[in-house]
Amino acid sequence: MKRRILCLIIFTLFLEACGEARTTSPSPGNTSLPSSLPTNKPSPSLTTISPTKPLTITPRPTLNSLDIARTVLTDLSIEVTHEYSPTGYCDWKRIIGWSTDFKYNNQFFTYATITCVNQDKPWVLVESWAEQGLGYPLTSLLGWSTDEKYAYFYDKIIPDGCQPRGSFGRGLYQVDLNTGTIKSYPVDQTRGISLSPDASMIVFYDHQMSEVIIYNLLDQYEKHIAFDIPSGMDNWGAGDFTWSPDGQKIIFIIDYGDACFVSGVSLRLIDTQTSKVTTLLERENQTLSVVEWSESNKILLSIDNEQQILDLTTGNVSKP
């Protein structure tokens, strides 16, 4: 009897032990969270990540000076001009801010610079406001020295109305491209101004005196050469001053009549050594311009928008 009771007790203890070891799974319908969460936080573990390729950083796009000007100066119309030296060593840059209304009393802003490849920053030549009225100045590049050590610029005067051939000019300046130093020449009215091939002289004309003026930039010597205008011809203008390849001769064109209604043209040749002026062509009711003078005795012209060659030895004009 005692042995049977002992077996029953052992069997009961075995069943209780199995019940405590059993894990119960929540029924599918019971998805509620427990009423309390453990307060002990697990210790974070450090993980080392080795990149498989270099990190690439994409820079944010930046605005250039022109875009900034357009963004900030919304009431200005921005115009940019570039002109490069013959070898591309230097870059002339002019920025004009035109007033689109009368907020700036109809003024415009000019910012002209030259940047060469050996410079960290550009030389600032002009940074000023000017009146946009009758005959306003527009800073313009005249040319470069053959060794590209100097650049020359002047004020091109824009008239109210038709622009005469050669335009109006004012002043002359030289900038040293190594130092940025600006030199002013004692010339005022420079109508039709043109730089010689070796950049040692300029030519322009005096309307009141009917004279061509050749100005030596080295010794600042002037040579005045008079030319004839038909009697009674009050309205006329000259321009297209073009040097021969050797710089010994100059041709230019005279327009007869008002700049808006030219009635005739005259092509003249100047010998700079003898000061002799020769009439090469006279035309009525035709357009005429100089395209190129690359050969000593042949000049490429445009007559009524058709290119023709003038032979200086014979005086004949023919198609190329």
Can you give the pTM of this predicted structure?
A: 0.74
Q: Is residue 220 part of a domain?
A: yes
pLDDT (tens digit, 9 = 90+) per residue, 144-187? Answer: 999 999 999 999 998 877 888 888 899 999 999 999 999 999 99
Residue 283 to residue 156: CA distance in whole angstroms: 28
> Would you list the DSSP string of 246-313?
TSSEEEEEEEEEETTEEEEEEEEEEETTT--EEEEEEEES--EEEEEEEETTEEEEEETTEEEEEETT
Determine what percent of the chain falls in helix, strand and coil, rounding each to the nearest 5: 10, 45, 45
Q: Is residue 28 part of a domain?
A: no
The pLDDT of residue 67: 61
Q: Is residue 18 part of a domain?
A: no
Q: Is residue 88 part of a domain?
A: yes
Decide which of 132, 157, 180 is a domain's last residue. Answer: 132
Instruction: Tell whether 96 and 198 lie within a shared domain.
Output: no
Instruction: Tell whether 114 and 142 lie within a shared domain.
Output: no
The pLDDT of residue 46: 43
Q: Is residue 258 part of a domain?
A: yes
What stretches of 64-135 adopt beta strand conformation (E)? Answer: 76-84, 90-99, 107-116, 123-131
Task: Give residue 118's domain range.
Answer: 64-132
Q: Is residue 103 part of a domain?
A: yes
Cβ neighbourhood burial of 29 (10 Å; 0-12, 13-18, 19+)? exposed
- Look at residues 237, 282, 289, 284 and name the one whose alpha carbon lies nearest to residue 264: 284
Q: Is residue 3 part of a domain?
A: no
* Strand partners for 218: none
Decide which of 100, 132, 164 is a domain's last residue. Answer: 132
Residue 285 to residue 265: CA distance in whole angstroms: 8
pLDDT (tens digit, 9 = 90+) per residue, 80-105? Answer: 999 999 999 999 999 998 877 656 66
Reported as a pLDDT band with limits 50, 70 and 90, residue 188 is confident
Reported as a pLDDT band with limits 50, 70 and 90, residue 22 is very low
Question: What CATH number is associated with residue 266?
Answer: 2.130.10.10
Instruction: Tell whether 166 and 313 lie within a shared domain.
Output: yes
Instruction: Tell whether 267 and 169 lie within a shared domain.
Output: yes
Instruction: Tell whether 241 and 299 lie within a shared domain.
Output: yes
Q: Is residue 19 part of a domain?
A: no
Strand order in the sheet with 261-271: 236-243, 249-258, 261-271, 277-284
